[in-house]
Structure 1
Amino acid sequence: MNSSPIGTPLNVIIVGAGLVGLATALALRRAGHHVEIYEKSSFSREVGAAVTCGPNATRILEGLGCDFGRMRAVEHTQTRYFGKDQADGDLSFVSRGSDLFEKFGAKFYLVHRVDLHTELKDRATSSVGIGESCILHLGSAVLSLDAESGTIGLGDGSYISGDIVIVADGINSSLRKFITPHTTPHPSGLAAFRTTIFFSLVNAENEPGLEWVRESKRALCLINDDDGRRNLTVYPCRGGEVLNVAGLHPRTPGAGGLEEEKGFGGHVSSPEDFLEAFKDFSARYKELIRLCPVDNVTLWPLLLFEELPTWIKGRACLVGDAAHAMFPMLGQGAAQGFEDAITLATLLPSTLSTSLSDAGKDQSDTINTRLRLFESLRKSRATEIQTLSNRIGRGLPVLKFEAEVEEMLYGYDAAGITRDALGGI
């Protein structure tokens, strides 16, 4: 892929075909560019649990033509807070978040990660839709990056050049080092169990201790211990047929044979280990954990990533977890990546090289100027949310979802703010 002449759509290289890489590809396709995605895996099997899409994420995804109905997403209508010691017959809860659509003009969805990934991939690569279909190269590991020339080196020894390279290769990014100095993340002393459970099992058990689950079919349920360093998160996805269950708890770094915590990733665990970590929670919560499939429980050590010095260099930039990996406490990891995607697409219209504001500059200068603007628009916000999300990893209380926090997270219109910024230059 060669560089484009002045006044034509850009040749865009995206490294990584996860949620954020595909969303960025789709956004830039719709902006009129030629987009090729390089992904080291082959997508041979479904992986992952569920993800929350708050109004700031939903607004972007629907604007890109994604359909939450096709994804069988469940509309989140309420967050229910329970106590860890509540007895079977106690269905009382504290509620928040039932008026998000009225406040922010977009809905909050609970969606299986695989369903969201499939939707983004289909929209990006389909022959139907706005713009030229993105080209997806699977089994194509990218080993090197020359940010100044926009050139990537592939595992087969070949090199590909483009007008811009967007690095979306995730929390364990192999290309981050070619853009910015980076310090190794450090263990937080926390880890999260993750699993999914078929809702039919909850109904089949017909146990009174599971009534709190059956009564929360469209709610996100949070069960905290006294200091908040252990909690269960339970919510539905896939049309209410599947429950996503996560259990955050303290653990000793390197315990359980997980010395490889220098990297981030899930490790095979078991319902028994999950139960042991929450053995002092009331019986009804342990009843749910017992329904976990024996072959579908993973344990994810949570690592603390510091703010990066920069996200950009030459013709290249970082997006998503490669730029701002964060704890899941605010449900904003994917959402911040989607904000990156729509900001880039708004800053890089197909007419970029002939725009009045960039007159007199060569293409390389124009692209770098827009990438600097991208960083100025995105870095401070994403870093603030990263810091707030990571509070529990630094021994601080989890941030409460008060109205001010909801407004900061969900009221943000990334595309609108970017258009306003362009109007001022």
Structure 2
Amino acid sequence: MTDMTKTAPEVKAPEIKGVPETVTAAFDEFMEAFEAFKDVNDRRLGEIEQKLSADVVTRDKMDRINRAMDEQKKVLDQMLLKKARPALGSSQGRELSPEAEEHKAAFDAYVRRGDEAGLRELEAKAFSATAGADGGYLVPPETDNEIGRRVSIVSPMRALSTVRTVSTSVLKKPFATAGLSTGWVAETAARPQTNTPQLAELSFPTMELYAMPAATQALLDDAAVDIEAWIAGEVDIVFAEQEGDAFIRGDGVNKPKGFLTYTAVAESVWTWGNLGYIATGAAGAWKTTGPSDTLVDVIYALKAGHRQNGTFMMNRKTQADVRKFKDADGNYLWRPPASAGQPASLMGFPIAEAEEMPDVGANALAVAFGDFRSGYLVVDRAGVRILRDPYSAKPYVLFYTTKRVGGGVQNFEAIKLVKFAAS
């Protein structure tokens, strides 16, 4: 057998450079790091095959490259998010209806000067029972939509899930516990009476999520500043972080219920109302031999209709583990994004990075795979509200910004988990 430690060329770990000037440059650096990672990992596997253990230097180098890839991916994600933000200047060029123009002008007057007469009149016309300074005022629809769009860019769960907008505080969804009764009959044959379906109900209450950006009076007096864009830019990240955490591990108390907080049971004994899991076969770790077998099992635990829409979800540390996995032909199972802004893939399925997912550890549910659009429901109550507060933090003006959001699992067949346990 060839001694790979002697014949393999030296591979240098990529250095973390300065912040790239363009998204293209950042993506090129990420791809260079992946090529270096593959070379060093191949060397590590060759050393294990020959000496039953990898050289310490090789392992350290691979860990450095893994960290470099994660750092470069963070930089790339930040650049893409910044690119998605609108400029802070005026909103000239946007075509708005006369009603939207009126709402925008009234909202601008309220935010800049505290003049609420225009908004009171508009919400009175709309028969808004909750209008008034005590509860704040609705932001213009364009700002509401812009906040939702950018929150989806940051929050993987919102981007992957079904999102419903409601006008009430609770969405109730009925479902048949045993499915619908069906059968085959001849064209002229009598249709036998079906059994009365047994219906149950899922309830998705909305909870209040808030942020409180502050502004100086000088900023508010600057006519060149688009106040709507400023507010959207201030609250989108914090809303996305809070939502992302709640949709994954929220306990359902004054927040949405995350899918990881539902009861998880072994796939072999799965029942409706629980999420099924596949155990790795090793306590707190991947199996030493054939670790990717667990991923194959969790993929095929989903029914075909959900599998074709499947997405893996894990954090960066777990993704660093699966980058090392190969198939029987020596091909890497993890593939980098095809272009900037696209997700990486694992065994042909996209990977959603969610830092709220737990690290690999004892009994951790660190990997999820599923058709999240079928499996998880996000409920938005229509409207984002703003309450102007010029008194609490003088000389700053605070803007108490609230929205109501709920969420929970709506199809327990559509999401499967990987549990890092012996069984």
TM-score for both structures, normalised by structure 1: 0.23
TM-score for both structures, normalised by structure 2: 0.24
Q: Which has the larger radius of gyration?
A: 2
